[in-house]
């Protein structure tokens, strides 16, 4: 063999070693960029979302006894040689432009296989546009503006139901109240519920909620007597609260993040506001700090959600994962944090089905995935995406904060009616 042939074989050998090393490294971990608000007004929920995502990755990456789903026994992604999911968290601070810049960095510098996030619908809108531009898969776990899956994107999928689902649930509950379907109370005359008013924070999410509420009110035969869009960062909501009170609605409806939900409740309490029905569109209304901060002041308040801790009575895996979360962090899962759990579960299932980190393979897997109900913490029929990227097997819950005999506030399921865990409190008891 000539010197040139020997040199060629040596170079080929080195190339093969280098390629094998690269493949080995690729099999060891798969990087997913996760964009959450980890500072600023929504830092508390961002922290909780991060915790839930990290816990779920731990369950999948390490064989986890006591969690009765196949993923908990994987010890990594089986069809990727046991590769571990590595979540790279970045802080978008609730700023759409910052979210877009961070998405570019994750794609170009960190070389992530895909993206997850971003909680705020306004940030998800810009982040998903970046993902679409670069042909990088994005699984959205937690944003609920209906418009996000109406853009014809090919690289965006959403596991959670969106606000149209949840707002329909609200009006089904109102309809059920007038028909005597709600646990523990007789039928309520419709004229006691007919006039409604809303106050929603003025972003992509809040404004889409407002539009949806107006549409469903008309469809179900209710009157929307007042609608307010306000700045979520406002230090004072006195004017908005006075406007709501002056409208004298039978029901007050809200779409608020944590800081403004706390401010709104306190302001309305100070005015001794009266209404028969008080409902929040999750976000601030379902966070653990909402109940911790306001205590008995939220007795009778309703919130839409997708997870309530009482589900542990009827869904085994919900109880198992909730127990792990509570042991580690001291709180029960909420609708927001449980959605983060499902987001990571969806990524794991997609990667395993794809058997590759190639974007086209992941895209194909997302379009074909069908995660069964018994593998989810949620009371859903599963995860299966339609042609728009929307999971069509999700469902919502409505909970009501109720004060128990021990004086503690707990969130009870009141809708769907077949899952109700307590009698409904009607009318809203208000404040003394």
Q: What is the CATH number of the domain that holds 65?
A: 3.40.50.2300
The answer to the question of residue 325 being in a domain is: yes
Q: Do residues 286 and 334 make contact, with C-beta atoms less than 8 angstroms apart?
A: yes
The answer to the question of residue 357 being in a domain is: yes
The answer to the question of residue 179 being in a domain is: yes
In 3D space, the residue among 130, 397, 87, 424 whose CA is nearest the CA of residue 276 turns out to be 424
Do 258 and 272 sit in the same domain of this protein? yes
The answer to the question of residue 388 being in a domain is: no
Do 400 and 308 sit in the same domain of this protein? yes
- The domain total for the chain is 2
pLDDT at 283: 80
Do 143 and 273 sit in the same domain of this protein? no
**Degrees, nearest 5: CA angle 146-147-150:** 105
Domain that holds residue 72: 9-162+315-383
Do 225 and 83 sit in the same domain of this protein? no
Do 224 and 139 sit in the same domain of this protein? no
The answer to the question of residue 157 being in a domain is: yes
Do 15 and 150 sit in the same domain of this protein? yes
Q: Each residue's pLDDT tens digit in the chain (432 positions)?
A: 555 555 444 444 444 434 433 443 444 999 999 999 999 988 999 999 999 999 999 999 999 999 999 999 999 999 999 999 999 999 999 999 999 999 999 999 999 999 999 999 999 999 999 999 999 999 999 998 899 999 999 999 999 999 888 899 999 999 999 999 999 999 999 999 999 999 999 988 889 899 999 999 999 999 999 999 998 788 999 999 999 999 999 999 999 988 899 999 999 999 999 999 999 987 888 888 899 999 999 999 999 989 888 888 878 999 999 999 999 999 999 889 999 999 999 999 999 999 999 999 999 999 999 999 999 999 899 999 999 999 999 989 999 999 988 888 999 999 999 889 999 999 999 887
Backbone angles phi, psi at 253, to 5 degrees: -125, 140
pLDDT at 324: 96
Q: Longest C-alpha distance within the chain, in Å? A: 97
Do 185 and 305 sit in the same domain of this protein? yes
The answer to the question of residue 40 being in a domain is: yes
Do 181 and 238 sit in the same domain of this protein? yes
Kind and range of the H or E run holding 95: none
Do 87 and 113 sit in the same domain of this protein? yes
Do 154 and 220 sit in the same domain of this protein? no
Give 206's Cβ-side CA count (13 Å radius): 23
The answer to the question of residue 390 being in a domain is: no
């Amino acid at each position: 063999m000539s010197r040139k042939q020997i040199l060629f074989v040596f170079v080929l050998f080195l190339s093969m070693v280098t390629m094998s090393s690269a493949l080995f490294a690729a099999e060891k971990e798969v990087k997913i960029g996760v964009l959450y608000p980890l500072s600023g007004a929504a830092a508390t929920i961002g922290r909780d979302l991060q915790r839930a995502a990290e816990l779920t990755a731990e369950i999948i990456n390490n064989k986890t006894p006591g969690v009765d789903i196949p993923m908990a026994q994987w010890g990594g992604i089986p069809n990727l040689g046991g590769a571990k999911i590595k979540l790279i968290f970045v802080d978008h601070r609730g700023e759409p432009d910052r979210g877009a810049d961070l998405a570019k960095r994750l794609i170009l510098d960190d070389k992530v296989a895909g993206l997850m996030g971003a909680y705020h619908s306004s940030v998800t809108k810009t982040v998903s546009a970046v993902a679409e531009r670069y042909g990088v898969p994005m699984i959205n776990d937690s944003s609920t503006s209906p418009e996000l899956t109406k853009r014809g994107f090919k690289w965006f999928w959403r596991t959670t139901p969106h606000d149209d689902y949840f707002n329909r649930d609200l009006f089904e509950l109102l309809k059920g109240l007038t028909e005597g379907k709600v646990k523990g109370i007789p039928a309520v005359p419709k004229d006691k519920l007919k006039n409604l008013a809303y106050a929603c924070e003025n972003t992509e999410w809040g404004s889409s909620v407002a539009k949806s509420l107006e549409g469903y009110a008309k469809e179900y035969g209710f009157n929307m007597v007042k609608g307010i869009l306000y700045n979520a960062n406002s230090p004072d909501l006195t004017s908005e609260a006075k406007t709501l009170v002056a409208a004298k609605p039978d029901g007050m409806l809200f779409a608020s993040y944590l800081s403004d939900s706390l401010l709104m409740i306190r302001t309305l309490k100070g005015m001794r506001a009266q209404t028969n029905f008080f409902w929040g569109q999750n976000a601030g209304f379902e966070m653990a700090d909402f109940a911790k901060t306001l205590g008995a002041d939220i007795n009778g308040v309703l919130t839409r959600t997708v997870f309530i801790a009482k589900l542990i009575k009827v869904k085994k895996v919900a109880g198992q994962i909730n127990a792990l979360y509570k042991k580690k962090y001291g709180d029960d899962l909420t609708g927001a944090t449980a959605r983060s759990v499902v987001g990571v579960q969806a990524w794991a299932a997609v990667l395993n089905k794809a058997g590759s980190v190639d974007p086209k393979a992941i895209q194909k897997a997302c379009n074909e995935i069908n995660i069964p109900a018994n593998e989810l913490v949620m009371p859903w029929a599963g995860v299966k995406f339609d042609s728009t990227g929307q999971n069509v097997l999700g469902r919502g819950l409505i909970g009501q904060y109720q004060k128990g005999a021990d004086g503690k506030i707990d969130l009870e399921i009141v809708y769907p009616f077949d899952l109700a865990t307590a009698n409904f409190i009607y009318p809203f008891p208000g404040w003394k």
